[in-house]
Amino acid sequence: MKVNDKALVRCILNGSPDAFTDLIQCYQKRLYSFLCKLTPCREDAEEMLQDVFIRVYRYLGKYDEARDFSTWIFKICVNVFKDYYRKQKKRPASCQAPYEEMAAIQDSPEISYEEKEDYLSVIRLINALKPDQKIAILLKQLHGLTYQEIAVILKISPANAKMKVSRARQFIGLELERQKRRRIG
């Protein structure tokens, strides 16, 4: 747990709800990036982000200071993400929001056609990953969490967490190679 997180949490628990705005400020960008990569639908990501902070505030009294706050908040974020789509009975991929990143790549003149195709394929393949694999690889590569931390968030063993990241990487790597071969052939 970072020192500033700890101080902010204590302020909030001591009856200063305004300190919570500082906590939101500290984490909203990271969590929003995480949620936007999990779901292509920005509106869903924003709604989920609000739900994350509301849940954080509600359960802050139960938070154990001995544990890492960043891991705790990501755990809540993952739970909110899973609950959101469970309640709505849809998969994130079914949301037909525009992929801004894809559009940006397609419009970029300085990137070769093949590079663009590879990059777009990677985006599609990441979005086709199983939710737990996607969460695991995001936590590893976007936020640099350890397998131990990912294990806590996904409620699995560290070895299992490493396996999920490995499977996700293999799926993307091998599938991209297959698609490239098909493109050339």
CA–CA dist 87, 89 (Å, integer): 5
What's the min distance (Å) between Cβ of 23 and another protein? Answer: 10
Assess 60 for contact with another protein (CB under 8 A).
yes
One of 77, 138, 153, 161 touching another protein (CB under 8 A): 138
Assess 24 for contact with another protein (CB under 8 A).
yes
3-state secondary structure 39-52: CCCHHHHHHHHHHH
3-state secondary structure 112-129: CHHHHHHHHHHHHHHHCC
What's the min distance (Å) between Cβ of 18 and another protein? Answer: 6
Assess 37 for contact with another protein (CB under 8 A).
yes
149-to-43, 50, 72, 139 alpha-carbon distances in Å: 28, 23, 9, 9
- Over the window 147 to 166, marking each residue x when it contacts another protein by CB under 8 A and - when it does not, the resulting string is ------------------xx
Binding part of the chain for another protein, among 67-75, 85-93, 134-142, 149-157 by CB under 8 A, reads: 134-142
CA–CA dist 166, 10 (Å, integer): 38
Assess 97 for contact with another protein (CB under 8 A).
no
Assess 63 for contact with another protein (CB under 8 A).
no
